[in-house]
Amino acid sequence: MISRVARFGMASVAGLLAVSAAAEARAAETPSLRAMTLGEALDYARAHQPDLRAAAARVESVKAQAAIARARWYPTVTATAQLLASTTNNSTGSYLTVPLLDNPRVSATRAESAATASLAPSPSTMVGAGVRQLVYDFGRIAAEAASDDLRADAASLSLASSRIVVDYDVEETYFAVHAAKSVLTASEQAYERAVVHRDLARAGVESGLRRPIELTRAEAALDRYELERIHAKRGVSVAQAVLAATVGVPDHLLDIAGPPPGPQELPSLDAAFARASDQNPELRAALTRVRAQEEASKAIARAASPSLFLTGAVSGNAGGAIPSSGESAAAHGLLPSVPNWDVGVVLAWPLFDATVSARTRQSRADENALREQAGALRFKIAAEVEEAYIDVQAARDALPVLQHAVKAGVANYEQADARFGVGLGNAVELADAEDVRTAAEIQLALGVFELARARALLGRVIAEGI
């Protein structure tokens, strides 16, 4: 009997050595993966994540658009050169009107009656350049610039909101990789213990100390834990692939370097509501868009206000028609040799434009729609805060229970393992204890993940972080 027990113990040691050698061989075959800490993953995602890069580009586009309104305070300079052939009844020099070039008409031909008017064309030439400078617009440009600035602020807040969402996604996937590796560790340890139990059962059967059913039961448990280990490995690879895509690295898989930090202390619910209302960038962006639309409405309404501007121009022109007095132009009007200049102050006032009133009403309607959207968003965020807060409390309360379940499962397993080792327990009792222990360890890993995920979600909603 002593020799049989000795052989039984030697088989158990041999089984442990075989498991250790197999684990070392698997580690040597596993290709090295790029690994990051949570801080490194967050920094990389903020700099390289495609969604954030696109959002940052949109912010720059809106900021560039905000400079357009203020550019109208700069003077406009316009030049023209013209060669025309036209009738010249009552005009020695003909020219086309060019936008933003104020060129007064200063010459005329002799007056013709309907009977003596001629349809024969005469040449006209003109070169000129003019400057126009806005002096006062009664607040129209200021309102447009304020609206554009607020839209740029809203775009920046939207970028901040996108960054918080990406941060949360990175945190969640980082926690998921850690949880998947914890599940894999529990599955690996269960498999290794199952190998030892199988070898013990085999040695016991060979020595006659155990019945053959003990070995078949141990082999069935080993196969089951091998299948769970395969699934756990797949879970780690999937989590690493999702982490790589979320961070934005070019690698197909990304591993974690060390465990993630623990969650911050939970603020009071009232403090969480207040912070979400004040700091949530998505809500702040919505409220900023309301203010931007209010300024846009002011700018549209002020399109009916007058504009005061300075104008000045220099030109040379000539016409080939016979003038009412004096000599005809040189070269039959083909040389713009007659100089002119002008300066002036102009007040332009669009007295009636129905489209301005219609556009103003439409802009006011947009204001109301944006206010309603902001109100709905505020209500939604409040609901998200409360839900996330409850989830954090539930996950935090469940963690001590899960930890106690692991301790109880380990103690139960150790008792069953000791009974099995001395021949008092059977394979069914040991397998049940192994199931309880492994399930408790996996549930603890998932519970830790759930607490970290819920706290990260609350941090995203209240713009706080983990």
Asked if 184 contacts 27 with a C-beta cutoff of 8 angstroms, the reply is no
Beta bridge partners of 313: 130, 342
Lowest mean pLDDT among 34-38, 45-49, 199-203, 413-417: 199-203
115/373: higher pLDDT = 373
Confidence of residue 24 (pLDDT cuts 50, 70, 90): very low
Query: β-strands 122-136, 255-256: how paired?
Result: unpaired
Tell the burial category of 129 from Cβ atoms under 10 Å away from its Cβ (0-12, 13-18, 19+): middle
How does strand 76-86 pair with strand 122-136? antiparallel
List the domain boundaries for the chain: 2-62+144-294+378-461, 75-136+307-348
- Residue 16 pLDDT level (bands cut at 50, 70, 90): very low
Q: What is the structure's pLDDT at 108? A: 55
Is the pLDDT score of 3 beyond 50?
Answer: no
Answer with the residue of higher pLDDT: 210 or 382: 382
Among 446, 410, 448, residue whose Cα is nearest residue 193: 410
Written as one letter, the residue type at 55 is A
DSSP conformation letters of 291-335: HHHHHHHHHHHGGGS-EEEEEEEEEEEEE-SPBSSSPPPGGGGTS
Do residues 95 and 126 touch, judged by C-beta distance below 8 A?
A: yes
Spatial contact of 252 and 186, defined as CB atoms under 8 Å apart: no
Q: What is the pLDDT of residues 83-135, one digit of tens each?
A: 766 555 445 555 556 566 666 555 555 555 555 556 677 777 778 888 888 89
CB count in 10 Å sphere of residue 329: 26
Mean pLDDT for the stretch of residues 163-176 = 91
The answer to pTM > 0.75 is no
Supply the pLDDT for residue 212: 80
The DSSP-derived string for 30-41 is SPP--EE-HHHH
* pLDDT of 12 higher than 70: no
The yes-or-no verdict on residue 356 having pLDDT over 80 is yes
Q: Which helix (H) or strand (E) segment is 415 a member of?
A: helix 354-421
Out of 78-82, 220-224, 241-245, 350-354, give the one with best mean pLDDT. Answer: 241-245
Return the H-helix or E-strand segment holding 35.
Answer: strand 35-36
Whether the pLDDT of residue 208 is over 80: the answer is: no
Residue 18: predicted pLDDT = 45
| C-beta atoms surrounding 369 within 10 Å | 12
- Mean pLDDT lowest among 15-19, 312-316, 422-426: 15-19
Please tell me the class of the 2-62+144-294+378-461 domain: mainly alpha
Averaged pLDDT, 197-209: 76
Q: What is the pLDDT of residue 65?
A: 86
Question: Which pLDDT score, from 0 to 100, does residue 112 have?
Answer: 53
Q: What is the pLDDT of residue 297?
A: 94
Supply the pLDDT for residue 8: 33
pLDDT per residue over 292-333, tens digit each? 999 999 999 998 888 888 888 888 877 777 666 667 667 777
Locate 34 and state its tokens: 């790029």
Of 357, 429, 445, 356, the C-alpha closest to 395 is: 445
